[in-house]
Amino acid sequence: MTIPLKTKLLLAAVVVLVGSCKVRSLYERRLNERLVTEPSPWTEFVAVKGQALPVPKQWLADEEARKAHDLVLPQNLGQLMVPFDFEAARWKAWLPHGKSVGDQYLEHLCTYEAGEWVFKVTEPQEGIYIARTAEYMPDDGLYKVWDYEAPLLEKSWNVPQDVPEDAANRHVVFKDGPGSYIGWAGDDKKSHYRFVEIPNVGRIWQKKFEAPYLHLWGHHEMVINPTQIPEKSMQVKGIQKLTARYGITWRGLRRVEDREYRISGYEQMAYDLQTGVVIALRRQFARMMPHGGRPTFGAPDVCNRIYSGPNYQERTNRIAAISIRSVTGAKANLFVDAYPKEFQGGEK
């Protein structure tokens, strides 16, 4: 049977179209896979007690950062690293509908390492200590691969560090930073904790205090300008010694060739200030994804089985709410929809 010329041309066009689609698909995957080419500023690494791999020296710039990286996790979780087979992933990436190596790497980390663990739920507490706040990240920082220790977490706690020392701007620091742990002053039904304590690191609004720590309370989260309700505006005083028993801190994670594939991880921990024992842990990973033609941490792929907020925001107060109970008993405002009905495991 003779095939008409038009049919031959049509079949040839279909073959070319399908082939070009496959080539384009492979090209796009390879384009998305393209490794980071700019040189890493991390040239010196330091071994720490809390992680399996040495971390960049830049991550240990202050005392609280060093303490965070030296916290040892229960159940040997700090050493939990299942090797990723890069060579096998590269072969899989060339298969039809195959995922890029970076996407496979993120899935691997999410499967074997990411998660939330609660080892202890505390007795009710008046307040907590926030050992580390995050470095301010301007909008263009979301496109930086190497500049931030934990970009996913830091962008979610994006408070300018050196705001002027007037009430309204202090309110911004309080509302979006430490204030997110307190909520409504004077109303235990809506309060988170009654106070928070933070280290005095010499920022503009902290410089008038000589004490090493600051005790903050009295915030009202619905007040745009605290001077309008002076009895409920924030209050700050310097203290020589912490009164909180438990605190939270965080640290960036380093994995083999993670930033080369635009992947970043972090751990946020609740811990006992007296013993240094970690009582709860959140470990999350994210991969920069193209947005507006550029890879960014502004709209990343993350480990979706872990609770996250809307608009790619990490709930920076969630791990505290799960493990460090408040005397107010108000859990709803702390995004604890997954709070266990009955505590299981660990120590009450």
pLDDT at position 230 over 60: no
Q: What is the DSSP string of 32-53?
A: HHPPP-SPPS---EE--TT-SS
* Confidence (pLDDT) at 6: 66
Task: Determine the length of the chain.
Answer: 348
Label residue 347 by pLDDT band (50, 70, 90).
Answer: very low
Give the domain range for residue 190.
119-340
Express each pLDDT in 13-52 by its tens digit: 655 554 554 444 454 445 445 567 778 899 999 999 999 9
The answer to whether residues 219 and 175 touch, using CB atoms and an 8 Å cutoff, is yes
Residue 39 lies in a domain: no
Residue 310 lies in a domain: yes
The answer to whether residues 193 and 205 touch, using CB atoms and an 8 Å cutoff, is no
The answer to whether residues 192 and 181 touch, using CB atoms and an 8 Å cutoff, is yes
Helices (H), the chain: 5-33, 63-70, 86-93, 101-112, 151-156, 167-176, 318-323
Residue 233 lies in a domain: yes
Residue 299 lies in a domain: yes
Total domains, the chain: 1
* Confidence (pLDDT) at 120: 92
Compute the Cα dihedral for 194, 199, 200, 202 and give only its sign. negative
Compute the Cα dihedral for 243, 134, 111, 256 and give only its sign. negative
Label residue 208 by pLDDT band (50, 70, 90).
Answer: confident
The answer to whether residues 215 and 239 touch, using CB atoms and an 8 Å cutoff, is yes
Give the integer Cα–Cα distance in Å for 318 and 180.
10
* Confidence (pLDDT) at 63: 94
pLDDT at position 330 over 90: no
pTM of the model: 0.80
Express each pLDDT in 50-100 by its tens digit: 999 999 999 999 999 999 999 999 987 777 788 999 999 999 988 888 899
Segment 329-338 mean pLDDT: 45
Compute the Cα dihedral for 122, 125, 127, 129 and give only its sign. negative
Residue 43 lies in a domain: no
Label residue 305 by pLDDT band (50, 70, 90).
Answer: confident
Compute the Cα dihedral for 196, 137, 172, 308 and give only its sign. negative
Residue 146 lies in a domain: yes
Residue 52 lies in a domain: no
Compute the Cα dihedral for 121, 122, 123, 127 and give only its sign. negative
The answer to whether residues 232 and 166 touch, using CB atoms and an 8 Å cutoff, is no
Choose among 145, 179, 130: nearest CA to 159. Answer: 179
Residue 86 lies in a domain: no
* Confidence (pLDDT) at 169: 52
Of the ranges 48-52, 140-144, 177-181, 249-253, which one carries the lowest mean pLDDT score? 177-181
